[in-house]
């Protein structure tokens, strides 16, 4: 069964601290993995797309890693800011067009 | 702006009424998707359009749900005889190239549907 599982479900951190979000998937065959950020009341916005051959990809303070052998990905946020408060969604395609969405990790950054 | 737009942003309706949700994709994007996001749940795929045709309607939860796309652009999602369990945020996304598995889907802001 194609699944995407994320952890933790929610996370609260202090401004300026780092955090890491996890994503495990069982989707096969695997082509790529995406991380989206969804602010409250808005649609998801793509942060990064990682293909099979990529282990690490950075986008500003966001760094995603991928281990295709263990089928795990992580999203590391450095020096968190209040604007990082959002839901972070891991997405893995399971066909040419369809996407499998995780339930997301809700991150709250507090002053 | 040139992003995906959806209307209305909020819709409150009474149980049993029909509703129509609209999506304007990014100009030139051939692929269009509808998703549903219930509180505390992940995004649920509803339907996919390539141009005006819908090769995959497998996600539509019941025959009360239908969608169409005209002119390869605007799409409408219609829910007939709405039920309280239809309450959710309905998100539309578009993508430029169906064939590229790494092409990004761009999401609209969603329509929040509340069925009383």
Reported as a single tens digit per residue, the pLDDT across A41-94 is 889 999 999 988 889 999 999 999 999 899 999 999 999 999 999 999 999 887
Q: What pLDDT sits at residue B55?
A: 79
Q: What pLDDT sits at residue B2?
A: 78
Q: What pLDDT sits at residue B98?
A: 60
Using DSSP, state whether B87 is helix, strand or coil: coil
Q: What pLDDT sits at residue B72?
A: 82
**CA-based nearest residue to A73, from A55, A85, A59:** A55
Interface test with A, best of B3, B37, B55, B60 (most A CBs within 10 A): B37
Q: Please tell me the distance from the alpha carbon of residue A47 to that of residue A52, in angstroms, as a whole number.
A: 17
Say if residues A84 and A109 touch (Cβ distance below 8 Å).
yes
Q: What pLDDT sits at residue A80?
A: 97
Q: What pLDDT sits at residue B14?
A: 96
A51–B99 CB contact, under 8 Å: no
Chain A contacts of B31, Cβ < 8 Å? 97
B43–A41 CB contact, under 8 Å: no
Give the B window 3-42 contacts with A, CB below 8 Å: 4, 31, 33, 35, 40-42
Exposed e or buried b per residue across A75-98, where buried means at least 16 C-beta atoms within 10 angstroms of its C-beta: bebeebeeebbbbbbbbbbbeebe
Exposed e or buried b per residue across A61-73, where buried means at least 16 C-beta atoms within 10 angstroms of its C-beta: ebbbbbebeebeb
List the single residue in B48, B91, B104 with the smallest CB-CB distance to A98: B48
Q: What pLDDT sits at residue A15?
A: 97
Low-confidence ranges of chain B (pLDDT < 50): none
How far does the CA of residue A92 sit from the closest CA of chain B (Å)?
A: 10
Q: Please tell me the distance from the alpha carbon of residue B114 to that of residue B89, in angstroms, as a whole number.
A: 9
Q: What pLDDT sits at residue A52?
A: 83
B42–A103 CB contact, under 8 Å: yes
Q: What pLDDT sits at residue A99?
A: 79
Q: Please tell me the distance from the alpha carbon of residue A25 to that of residue A75, in angstroms, as a whole number.
A: 14
Say if residues A100 and A4 touch (Cβ distance below 8 Å).
yes
Q: What pLDDT sits at residue A63?
A: 96
Q: What pLDDT sits at residue A86?
A: 97
| A52 contacts: CB under 8 Å, gap ≥ 6 | A30, A31, A32, A68
Cis peptide before A29 (omega within 30 of 0): yes
Chain B contacts of A47, Cβ < 8 Å? none
Q: What pLDDT sits at residue A93?
A: 82
């Amino acid at each position: 069964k194609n699944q995407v599982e994320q952890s933790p479900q929610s996370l609260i951190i202090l401004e300026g601290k780092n955090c890491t979000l996890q994503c495990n998937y069982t989707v096969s065959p695997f082509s790529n993995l995406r991380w989206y950020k969804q602010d409250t009341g808005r649609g998801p916005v793509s942060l990064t797309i990682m293909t099979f051959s990529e282990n690490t990809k950075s986008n500003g303070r966001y760094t995603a890693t991928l281990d295709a052998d263990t089928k795990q990905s992580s999203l590391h946020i450095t020096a968190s800011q209040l604007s990082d408060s959002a839901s972070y969604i891991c997405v893995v395609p399971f066909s040419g067009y369809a996407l499998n969405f995780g339930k997301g990790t809700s991150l709250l950054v507090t002053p | 702006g040139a992003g995906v737009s959806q209307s209305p942003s909020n819709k409150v309706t009474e149980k049993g009424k029909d509703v129509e949700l609209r999506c304007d994709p990014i100009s030139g994007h051939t692929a269009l998707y509808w998703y549903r996001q219930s509180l505390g749940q992940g995004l649920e795929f509803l339907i996919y359009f390539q141009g005006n045709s819908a090769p995959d309607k497998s996600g539509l939860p019941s025959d009360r749900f239908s969608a169409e796309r005209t002119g390869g652009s605007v799409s409408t999602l219609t829910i007939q005889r709405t039920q309280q369990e239809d309450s959710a945020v309905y998100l539309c996304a578009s993508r430029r190239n169906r064939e590229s598995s790494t092409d990004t889907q761009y999401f609209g802001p969603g329509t929040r549907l509340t069925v009383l």
